[in-house]
């Protein structure tokens, strides 16, 4: 196997910081670049000032710097075709092609795909006309629906969970008439209830290797209250997901997804993140994502025992079956510290102190998300989630204790975090 690899990671967040941290542990790697990175990634890699959607700029950098492996963190560059552009230049890159990334970038595509391949997902219909959508809404036996835009909404937007007809009508007006998220098709979906989980698997286009299920906390407030966010904390393992359920998820969702994409001529290479719900009628797919989640990646990277770079190369080379992918039997928790006002617009330039000495022991990592370095001082950037304090332990209890003890050391006026990450699981144990 090659050594001294030059790796480029695309993205700026705590997910990318966690990926860089794990990539840096690989004996295969010589140098890591991050575009654009943040104040955390610059401690362990070289930040490069190229925006994650500047595909031409990233490609030129990779060619000029003889990059051996590019790892794409966020979805937007995938949807813009970064994998196609790099592959055309024979540059190895971990992630799906633009066609395969439609699993996330087009809900109209992913819902129809699931229907074609009998993958369990809530009933739905797709519309681009407001009046037709309203007429359909009137025929439904329930007012509890989810209205979603098909394309990528601005982060955290584009999904309205409705209790009443009035809410559904308002969402349809917003998306199809006012067009607050641009020209979009809209999905009206049956609203189901149950427990959500984020399931991650690696694939080389044929073989699927499940990683772990992780549980995110989407709402801003304790007890799942307040507005939705990008994710305020995550943990694994999940006490309500045993080996039997994982086998079921693999057989009914992960394998058919990878098989279906291959059969349709758009093989899926990269990490598949299935947003699932465990319901009384079995496990259903709420959505696919074509990337690691944030803050789920921080938990996954903390719990991955084997070499991430070797596994990613195996995906790119179509050799995942022979690869060694091992996840720890321990537990990990990630707590997001958000800037004042988040999820509303946050202010850049606020000081954050005592980050570099806060970790209470070697099992804790503080991954940066919305940070920058200004005159030698760590400050907030414009991205509202600021830090992801991530700890592992033999059990969830220990991991949670380590993470919260560390978060308490960080001096960030107005910074706020949920106090109940992993709490439901701890009560269930």
Residues that bind ligand GLY (CB under 6 A): 216, 230-231, 289, 293-294, 296
Residue 111 or 215: the one with the smaller Cβ distance to ligand GLY is: 215
User: Minimum distance between the CB of residue 36 and ligand GLY, rounded to whole angstroms?
Assistant: 19
User: Minimum distance between the CB of residue 413 and ligand GLY, rounded to whole angstroms?
Assistant: 26
In this structure, are residues 402 and 364 in contact, taking their beta carbons and an 8 Å threshold?
Answer: yes
User: Minimum distance between the CB of residue 100 and ligand GLY, rounded to whole angstroms?
Assistant: 18
Residue 87 or 228: the one with the smaller Cβ distance to ligand GLY is: 228
User: Minimum distance between the CB of residue 292 and ligand GLY, rounded to whole angstroms?
Assistant: 8
Write out the H or E segment, with its range, that includes residue 196. Answer: strand 195-204
Q: What is the DSSP letter of 2?
A: -
Residue 293 or 422: the one with the smaller Cβ distance to ligand GLY is: 293
User: Minimum distance between the CB of residue 275 and ligand GLY, rounded to whole angstroms?
Assistant: 8
User: Minimum distance between the CB of residue 295 and ligand GLY, rounded to whole angstroms?
Assistant: 6
- Per-residue burial over 345-377, b if 16 or more Cβ lie within 10 Å, else e, is ebeeebebeebeebbbeebbbbbbbbbbbeeee
Q: How far apart are CA 91 and CA 102, in angstroms?
A: 22
End-to-end CA distance of the chain: 43
- Per-residue burial over 131-153, b if 16 or more Cβ lie within 10 Å, else e, is eebbeebeeeeeebbbbbbbbbb
Query: Which residues, in sequence order, are bridge partners of residue 304?
Result: 327
Residue 233 or 267: the one with the smaller Cβ distance to ligand GLY is: 233
**Token output for 253:** 């969702």
Q: How far apart are CA 274 and CA 290, in angstroms?
A: 9
């Amino acid at each position: 196997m090659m050594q001294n690899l030059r790796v480029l990671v695309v993205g700026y967040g705590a997910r990318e910081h966690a990926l860089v941290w794990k990539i840096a542990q690989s004996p295969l790697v010589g140098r890591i670049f991050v575009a654009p990175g943040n104040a955390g990634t610059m401690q362990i890699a070289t930040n490069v000032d190229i925006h994650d959607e500047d595909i031409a700029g990233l490609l030129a950098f990779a060619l000029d710097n003889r990059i051996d492996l590019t790892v794409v963190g966020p979805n937007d560059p995938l949807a813009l075709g970064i994998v196609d552009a790099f592959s055309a230049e024979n540059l190895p890159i971990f992630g799906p092609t633009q066609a395969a990334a439609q699993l996330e970038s087009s809900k109209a595509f992913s819902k129809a795909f699931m229907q074609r391949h009998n993958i369990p997902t809530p009933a739905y219909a797709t519309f681009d006309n407001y009046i037709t959508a309203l007429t359909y809404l009137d025929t439904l036996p329930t007012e509890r629906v989810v209205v979603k835009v098909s394309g990528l909404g601005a982060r955290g937007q584009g999904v309205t969970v409705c209790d009443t007809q009035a809410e559904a009508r308002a969402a349809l007006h917003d998306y199809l008439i006012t067009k607050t998220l641009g020209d979009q098709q809209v999905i009206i979906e049956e609203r189901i209830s149950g427990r959500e989980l984020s399931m991650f698997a690696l694939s080389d286009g044929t073989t699927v290797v499940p990683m772990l299920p992780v549980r995110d906390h989407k709402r801003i407030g304790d007890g799942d209250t307040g507005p939705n966010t990008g994710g305020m904390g995550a943990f694994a393992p999940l006490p309500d997901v045993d080996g039997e359920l994982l086998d079921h998820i693999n057989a009914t969702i992960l394998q058919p997804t990878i098989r279906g994409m291959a059969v349709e001529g758009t093989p899926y290479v990269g990490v598949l993140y299935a947003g699932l719900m465990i319901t009384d009628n079995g496990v259903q797919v709420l959505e696919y994502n074509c990337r690691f989640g944030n803050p789920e990646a921080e938990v996954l990277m903390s719990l991955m025992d084997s070499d991430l770079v070797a596994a990613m190369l195996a995906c790119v080379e179509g050799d995942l079956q022979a690869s060694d992918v091992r996840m720890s039997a321990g537990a990990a928790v990630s707590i997001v510290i958000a800037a004042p006002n988040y999820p509303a617009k946050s202010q850049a330039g606020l000081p954050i102190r005592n980050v570099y000495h806060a970790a209470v022991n070697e099992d804790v990592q503080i991954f940066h998300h919305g940070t920058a370095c200004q005159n030698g001082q760590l400050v907030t950037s414009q991205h509202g989630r600021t830090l992801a304090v991530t700890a592992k332990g033999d059990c969830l209890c220990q991991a949670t204790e380590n993470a919260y003890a560390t978060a308490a050391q960080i001096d960030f006026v107005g910074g706020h975090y949920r106090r109940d990450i992993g709490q439901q699981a701890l009560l269930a144990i």
